[in-house]
Amino acid sequence: MPASTPWWSTPSTAAPRPGRRPTLGLAAAIVASVFSGATMADPLKVSPGGAQAVSATGIPAKMPPAKMPYATYAAPYGIDRGTCDRSQLARRSDGNPAALIGARIGHSMDRIDQACVARILEFAPDRAAVRWFGAPRMDYGGPAFAVTPLRTFERDGKYCREYQALATIGGQDEQGYGIACRMTDGVWQTPG
C-alpha cells in the first residue's frame, strides 16, 4: 500500500497503518452519518395517517401507531378508579348475576351490588380494593362495600379469584372471604 493512500480508504482485509486504531474509522463514519442526516432503517414504518404499521416487507404489522407503543384500556364502571359506578351498571346490567358473597354481606346486596362484585372479579387487578355505597335503605343510610381480589389462579381449566369482602351494614363492620371461578359463559360463580 502506498504511503499516499489514506488509511481509511484501505480495503477491510488490509491491516491498518501502524499506530492507527481501526475503530477510529468506524467512529468517523458514525459521526459523519449523524451530521449528514442519514438514519438507520426503521424495521416498522407508520403510514402518514398513523392508521396502520407496515413492516419493511410491506406486510401489515400487528402494532399500534408509533405515537402509542402499547395498548391501554380503562376498566369499565369506575373499577379502574377504585369504585363501582352503580348507576352505569344498573343501565347495563344483564340478567340476574349469581350470588357471589354469602352470609350477612351477601344478603345486604341487591342485584346491582352483586353485579359490581362480578365486574370487580373480571376487571380489577390483584390487591386493588374497590369501594362503593349500596342502595339506601329505609332503616339506615345504606351499606358501604369494599371488595379486594387477593389472588388469581387456575382450577380445572377455569380462572378463579380469591377475594376479601368488607361491608359496613347498619353501623356494624362485616368481613368475608370467598373464591369465585369464571365459567365458560363469562359468569362468575362460587365453586360448589
- Which pLDDT score is estimated for 88? 82
Angstrom distance (rounded) from CA 54 to CA 4: 48
Q: Which of the two residues, 87 and 96, has the higher pLDDT score?
A: 87
Kindly state the average pLDDT of the residues 72-81.
76
Kindly state the average pLDDT of the residues 181-189.
90
110: pLDDT strictly greater than 80: yes
Kindly state the average pLDDT of the residues 121-134.
93
Question: Which is nearest to 55 in space by CA: 47, 64, 43, 63?
Answer: 43
106: pLDDT strictly greater than 50: yes
- Residue 91, phi-psi category: left (phi > 0), alpha (psi -120 to 50), beta (remainder): alpha
The band of 23, judged by pLDDT with boundaries at 50, 70 and 90, is low
146: pLDDT strictly greater than 90: yes
Q: pTM higher than 0.75 for the full model?
A: no
Cα distances (Å, whole numbers) of residue 157 to 154, 161, 187: 6, 13, 15
